[in-house]
Amino acid sequence: DAKTTQPPSMDCAEGRAANLPCNHSTISGNEYVYWYRQIHSQGPQYIIHGLKNNETNEMASLIITEDRKSSTLILPHATLRDTAVYYCIVRVAIDKLVFGAGTILRVKS
């Protein structure tokens, strides 16, 4: 079972930042938080991951709370092409991802 809780859906205006929350209150000390997204008719796409520190790459930023019980994925300037299902995953085993239901992000013009 997934160890994360995400809102089922969110809307965001094009050009604005999209902030997607995730709760993972039972996360263990050595478990990473991963974010993937799935755009319609495509396979899941890796976005970013982190353990304790905040992380940033060309796609997004990941903010992890100090107690590691929650995190936020930030898409700084959302575009229509960012409309997708976003999955927050606590990697319980290095070679097995456990997907939850994810958050449907709708970016609107």
Partner 1 sequence: EAGVTQFPSHSVIEKGQTVTLRCDPISGHDNLYWYRRVMGKEIKFLLHFVKESKQDESGMPNNRFLAERTGGTYSTLKVQPAELEDSGVYFCASSQEGRKYYGYTFGSGTRLTVV
Where does this chain bind partner 1 (CB under 8 A)? 2, 32, 34, 36, 41-47, 49, 87, 94-101
Minimum distance from residue 42 beta carbon to partner 1 (Å): 5
Minimum distance from residue 55 beta carbon to partner 1 (Å): 12
CA distances from 9 to 56, 83, 106 (A): 23, 11, 8
Residue 35 vs 82, nearer CB to partner 1: 35
Q: Are 88 and 23 in contact (CB under 8 A)?
A: no
Minimum distance from residue 80 beta carbon to partner 1 (Å): 20
Q: Are 85 and 102 in contact (CB under 8 A)?
A: yes
